[in-house]
Chain A
Amino acid sequence: MAKKQIIPRQQNSGSFTKAISAIVWKDLRAEFRSYELISSMLVFSLLVILIFNFALELDIKTRQSVTAGVLWATFAFAGTLGLNRSMAIEKDRGCLDGLLLAPVDRSAIYFGKFISNLTFMLIVEAIVLPVYSILYNTNLFQPGLLMVILLGSIGYTAIGTLLAAMSVQTRTRDVLLPILLFPVAFAVLLAAVKASGGFLDGSGFAEIAFPINLLIAYDIIFISVSFMAFDNIVEE
Chain B
Amino acid sequence: MHSKPITLKILDVASIILLLTSAYIAIFVAPTEKVMGDVQRVFYFHIGTAWVALVGFVFTAGLSVIYLITKDLKWDRIQVAAIEVSLVFFLITIILGSIWARPAWNTWWTWDPRLTTAAITELIYIAYFMLRQGIDDPDRRARFGAVYALIGGLSAPITFFAIRLFRTIHPVVIAGSNSEAEGAFSMTPDMLSAFFFALFAFTVIFIDLFWNRIRLENLRDEVEQLKMKVTM
A residues neighboring B (CB under 8 Å):
159, 162-163, 166-167, 169-173, 176, 179-180, 182-184, 186-187, 210, 221, 225, 229, 232-233, 235
Contact A180 B158 (CB under 8 A): no
B residues near A183, Cβ cutoff 8 Å: 120-121, 123-124, 127, 152, 155
B residues neighboring A (CB under 8 Å):
68, 120-121, 123-124, 127, 130-131, 133-136, 140, 143-144, 146-148, 150-152, 154-155, 158, 165
Contact A170 B134 (CB under 8 A): yes
Contact B147 A210 (CB under 8 A): no
- A166-B123 contact, Cβ under 8 Å, with A172-B130, A176-B130, A184-B155: no
Complex Cα distance A179/B124, Å?
8
Complex Cα distance A14/B42, Å?
61
Contact B148 A232 (CB under 8 A): no
Complex Cα distance A163/B150, Å?
12
The B contact surface, by secondary structure, is: helix
Contact B136 A171 (CB under 8 A): yes
Contact B134 A171 (CB under 8 A): yes
Contact A229 B150 (CB under 8 A): yes
Across the interface, B143 reaches (CB within 8 A) one of A172, A179, A233, namely A233
Complex Cα distance A166/B148, Å?
9
Minimum Cβ distance to chain A for residue B91 (Å): 15
Contact B152 A184 (CB under 8 A): yes
Q: List 28 A-B contacts (CB under 8 A).
A: A159-B151, A162-B147, A166-B147, A166-B148, A171-B134, A172-B134, A173-B134, A176-B130, A176-B131, A179-B130, A180-B127, A180-B131, A183-B120, A183-B152, A183-B155, A184-B124, A184-B152, A184-B155, A186-B155, A187-B155, A225-B151, A229-B147, A229-B151, A232-B143, A232-B147, A233-B143, A233-B144, A233-B147
Minimum Cβ distance to chain B for residue A31 (Å): 27
Task: Count contacts between A and B, CB distance < 8 Å.
Answer: 65
* Residue in B120, B144, B165 with the greatest tally of chain A CB atoms within 10 Å: B144
Complex Cα distance A179/B125, Å?
11
Complex Cα distance A169/B144, Å?
10
Contact A210 B131 (CB under 8 A): no
Tell me the nearest residue of chain B to A186, going by C-beta.
B120
Contact B146 A232 (CB under 8 A): yes
B residues near A229, Cβ cutoff 8 Å: 68, 147, 150-151
A residues near B143, Cβ cutoff 8 Å: 232-233, 235
Complex Cα distance A186/B130, Å?
18
Complex Cα distance A176/B127, Å?
8
Across the interface, B165 reaches (CB within 8 A) one of A159, A172, A182, A210, namely A210
Tell me the nearest residue of chain B to A173, going by C-beta.
B134
Complex Cα distance A132/B84, Å?
44
Tell me the nearest residue of chain A to B147, going by C-beta.
A229
Complex Cα distance A68/B148, Å?
28
Contact A169 B135 (CB under 8 A): yes
B residues near A176, Cβ cutoff 8 Å: 130-131, 134
Minimum Cβ distance to chain A for residue B129 (Å): 11
B residues near A170, Cβ cutoff 8 Å: 131, 134-135, 144
Complex Cα distance A233/B141, Å?
10
Minimum Cβ distance to chain B for residue A26 (Å): 25
Minimum Cβ distance to chain A for residue B54 (Å): 16
Contact B68 A232 (CB under 8 A): yes
- A179-B147 contact, Cβ under 8 Å, with A171-B135, A171-B136, A184-B155: no
Contact B152 A166 (CB under 8 A): no
- A184-B151 contact, Cβ under 8 Å, with A170-B135, A176-B131, A232-B68: yes
* Residue in A159, A169, A183 with the greatest tally of chain B CB atoms within 10 Å: A183
